[in-house]
Structure formats: structure tokens, C-alpha cells
Amino acid sequence: MHEHDEHARAAPKIGIVLGSGAAWGAAHVGVLQTLEDAGIRISVIVGASSGALIGAGYAAGMSAGELAERLQELRWSSFADWHPSRRWTLFDSSPLHRALAETGRPLDIEDLDRAFGVLAFDIRKRQAVLLRSGSLATALRASIAIPGVLPPIRVNGGILVDGSLGDRDAVRAATDLGADRVIAVRLHSEPGPDASVTVRLLDTISGARLARSRERASSVLQPDVLIRPDTQGMSRWTARDVPRLIASGQVAAEAALPIIHDMVSTFSARD
């Protein structure tokens, strides 16, 4: 066996989970930039809500630097149009299809450069759903669909909404996609703020309580490394603090690098 083949076999397939957090998701870019600069190769990505948007760009082959530039240019109109006449929602998320088409990147999840999964939540079955194939735009629209703000999306017979409700299933989703070791990036204590908004709205609409993931915490698979960028005092719903959020992600990831390098070397030493 050639030396590079032995290295490829010994190195773990690293997955990263990018959690929800609306505009705080910019911190994910800082984390990815630091890992990139440190030579940490990410093979599997799972994203929820804003984490899915960032993860999609990275899985499609964009560098962290390109993502940072794109974030500075993005406007709300890139994802949604004001549409108060729609039932239950204020905005229409269909512009996301157009925005993705204009990038010239793959439009189906299975065609992306890296293994990628999008987390959403099926309000009929009351459970998290991992979208790992099919239309990327449709999957992302489902994952960012906060009821009352953006419309639920129908996929394979399910009615899917905000992926933040499935955050606790993200690490298991990454292992299902082939990750040997998983790094998770969380932008707030769970349940997240956007998850809380979704739960309250769904409770109001359906008149029933969701079977929340915290009620089955014992079955939650924990990440090998947890990174928590500091988002305190930064805007969650506007792009005002994007540069600060990216920097915060870099700082948090840099602090975690010794643990990540140890994780990699320990895995490789098993053989």
C-alpha cells in the first residue's frame, strides 16, 4: 500500500454540525476558516436553519473566504419576498431557488463536493428529518421555515419546518452520513431562540405540544468536539454584526484546535 493510501485510511473522516441561530450563523464561517487554515479537512457537513445555508455553500466547494465575502453581499431578498397574503406566513422563500441557480453550483444535494445533510422538522410526524438527496433549494427552504414567517415546505409527503427543532439529532445525522468524528458548532444553549419561536407558534397553531428533543436527551449522541462562539450582544436578526460574528467563530475554533488535533492523532494511532 502506498504511503498516501495508508494516510488516507488512517485519517478520520471528520464531520461538522452547524447549528441554527439566524444571523448568528455567520460565526460558522469563522469556524470553517480557522479549520481550513489549520489543514483540518471536513468531509461531512450537517446543517440546521442558518447552519444549513452556510453548510450548503461549503459543501458546494466554496471556501470560507468566499463565504465571508458572500455574506457581506447578502440581503433578505436573496432568500425571501414580502408576501403577507400567503396563509400563515409573512414571506415567500421561493427566491432561494433563483439565488442558488445564479451561483452556478450544483442544485442537488447528492452532487455537492462534500457529503451534506439538511435538518428539518416534520410537523405531521413530530420528528426531525435529514434531507440528504434531491433539490438543495427545497431542503434549505424547509430548514429555514419558521412558521408564521416563512412557509412550511412539502417534501416526500411530509410538511417540513425550521431545522432548529432537529438540532439534537445533528450529530447522529453526521455519523449516518459517514463521519468518524464529529465537531459541533452551537451558537446558543438549547433549545435555540429560533427553535423556541417555532415551538410557540406550532403550539398555537396545532393546540398540541411537540415531543421535544430535550425529553429524550438520554438518546442524544454527543459530538467529539464542541465549539461555542460567543454571540452575546450581537444581532440575531440583522447582518449588522457579521464581521464580529465571523471573528468570534475564529476565536472559538482556534481555542478548540488542540483538542481537534488530538482527536485526529488519537484516531490515526489506533492502527
Instruction: Supply 29's cell numbers.
Output: 464561517
Q: What is the 3-state secondary structure (H, E, C) of 215-270?
A: HHHHHCCCCCEEECCCCCCCCCCCCCCHHHHHHHHHHHHHHHHHHHHHHHHHHHCC
Residue with cell 403550539: 203
CA 50 to chain centre: 6
Residue 76 has pLDDT above 80, yes or no: no
Polymer length of the chain: 271
Whether residue 49 lies in the annotated active site: yes
Task: For residues 191-205, give the mean pLDDT.
Answer: 47
Q: Is 117 helix (H, G, I), strand (E, B) or coil?
A: strand
pLDDT tens digit sequence for 79-106: 666 665 555 555 676 767 667 766 667 6
Amino acid at 41: R
* CA nearest to 260, candidates 40, 33, 8: 40
Task: For residues 205-232, give the mean pLDDT.
Answer: 68
- What is the reported pLDDT for 6? 46
Query: Which of 1-15, 43-57, 62-76, 187-201 holds the top average pLDDT?
Result: 43-57
Q: What is the C-alpha to C-alpha distance for residues 91 and 75, in angstroms, rounded to an integer?
A: 14
pLDDT tens digit sequence for 235-250: 988 889 999 999 999 9
Amino acid at 258: P
Q: What percent of the chain has pLDDT over 70?
A: 74
**Neighbour tally for 10: CB within 10 Å:** 14
In the chain, the largest separation of any two C-alpha atoms, in whole Å, equals 63
**Neighbour tally for 43: CB within 10 Å:** 18
Residue 197 has pLDDT above 60, yes or no: no
Task: For residues 39-43, give the mean pLDDT.
Answer: 97
Per the residue annotation, which of 122, 162, 194, 241 is the catalytic one? 162
Per the residue annotation, which of 20, 49, 213, 248 is the catalytic one? 49
Q: What is the C-alpha to C-alpha distance for residues 247 and 40, in angstroms, rounded to an integer?
A: 18
Whether residue 162 lies in the annotated active site: yes
Say which residue, 183 or 92, is predicted with more confidence. 183
Mean pLDDT of the chain: 82
pLDDT tens digit sequence for 129-182: 999 999 999 999 999 998 778 889 999 999 999 988 888 889 999 999 999 999
* Banded model confidence at residue 212, pLDDT cuts 50, 70, 90: very low
